[in-house]
Amino acid sequence: MTAKPTLPNLFFGFMKVGCMAFGGAQAVARRVMVEERHWLSERDYAELLALAHVLPGPNVGNFAVMFGRREYGLAGAATCVAGFFGLPLCLLVGLVSLYGYVGQYAQVNAAMHGVAAAAAGLVLGTALRMGTRLKPPPEAIGLALAVLLASTVFKVPLLLIVAVGAPVGVFAALRRARARTAAPAPPPDRRTPPTDALKRPGDA
Partner 1 sequence: MPLWLDMFLLFASLSLVAVGGANVLAPEMHRQLVDIRHLMDEATFSQLLALAQAAPGPNILSGSIMGYWIGGVPGLLGATLGLLGPTALLAWLIAGLTKRLAHAPWLRPAQAGLVPLALGLVGASGLVMAQAAASFPLAPVITGLATLYVWLAPLNPLWALLAGGLLGLVLL
Q: Which of residues 11-70 bind partner 1 (CB under 8 A)?
A: 18-28, 31, 35, 43, 46-47, 49-62, 65-66, 69-70
In the set 10, 33, 40, 77, which binds partner 1 (CB under 8 A)? 77
Within positions 129 to 188, which residues make up the interface with partner 1, using CB under 8 A?
Answer: 129-132, 134, 136, 140-141, 143-148, 151-152, 158-159, 161-162, 165-166, 169-174, 176-177
- Closest to partner 1 by CB, 6 vs 120, is 120
Q: CA 166 to CA 152: how far, in whole Å?
A: 18
Q: CA 156 to CA 8: how far, in whole Å?
A: 41
Least distance (Å) between residue 100 CB and partner 1: 9
Q: CA 11 to CA 17: how far, in whole Å?
A: 10
Question: Is 92 a binder of partner 1 (CB under 8 A)?
Answer: yes
Least distance (Å) between residue 202 CB and partner 1: 17
- Closest to partner 1 by CB, 38 vs 113, is 113
Q: Which residues contact 11 (CB under 8 A, 6 or more apart)?
A: 79, 80, 82, 83
Q: CA 20 to CA 127: how far, in whole Å?
A: 18
Q: CA 17 to CA 30: how far, in whole Å?
A: 9
